[in-house]
Amino acid sequence: MENKYIVLIGGNSGIGASVKEKLETLGAQVYSYSRTGGDGKILDVTEAFSQIEGLPEVIDGLVYCPGTINLKPFHRFTVEDFQKDYEVNLLGAVKVLQACMKGLKKSSSASVVLYSTVAVNVGLGFHSSISSAKGAVEGLVRSLAAEWAPSKIRVNAVAPSLTDTPLAAQLLGTEDKKEASNKRHPIGRYGTAEDIAAASVFLLSNDSSWMTGQVLHVDGGMSSVKGM
């Protein structure tokens, strides 16, 4: 990843922070943005914007990490709940992609990484809002992969299962919850930020140069394997 310029949205914690650490260790120049700023610049993806301050002229990689975990029975969701999940997970990505498109096209081998969820592929109760939003993300991945292929821009997604991040703190807040989650995954454990970051860096690297329009399932086998 040396001499590659990577734009990372949501790089302050969880998966984003782990992606940032791995990229910098590999020699990438990381331009980090998040709602709180931290070590990078401030960007609130729910606000209106068409440009992003401080982008590199050439963008070799773009990673969009902002997401939501909003779980409850369908009858308790409001339309506003669906709109909020859609705003953060899809429309925020759309605004960032449009702002970065010029820089991505200047790269000879740009790669975009977005995030879905195992719940798009596997029906899970209480996930109707986030599944709807992330399903839209997967549609965007495939459409942009086709549209941007002539510009040599690859577009892929990672679809995790439950991962130990600040966003999932309530779901893994006790030892009982952690053990229950371990048992739900055929591989015997829930995910870590490092698991997802490793897949993300792979998709950014030249090792995945023949992959585009793909949704990479990094989910402990939940989407494809039936546990014993």
Number of domains in the chain: 1
Q: What is the mean pLDDT of residues 75-96?
A: 98
What's the mean pLDDT when you consider all of the chain? 95
Residue 224 domain-assigned (yes or no): no
What domain range is 37 assigned to?
A: 5-218
pLDDT tens digit string along 187-220? 999 999 999 999 999 999 999 999 999 999 999 9
DSSP state of 122: S
User: What's the CATH number where 104 sits?
Assistant: 3.40.50.720
Question: Which range, 46-50, 172-176, 177-181, has the best average confidence (pLDDT)?
Answer: 46-50
Match 């914690």 to its residue by tokens: 13
Q: Return the bridge partners of 191, or none.
A: 163
Residue 56 domain-assigned (yes or no): yes
Q: Under a CB-based contact definition with an 8 Å cutoff, are residues 100 and 92 in contact?
A: no
Residue 177 has pLDDT above 90, yes or no: no
Per-residue confidence (pLDDT) for residue 181, from 0 to 100: 86
Amino acid in position 65: C
Residue 209 domain-assigned (yes or no): yes
Amino acid in position 26: L
The helix (run of H) or strand (run of E) holding residue 130 is helix 128-148
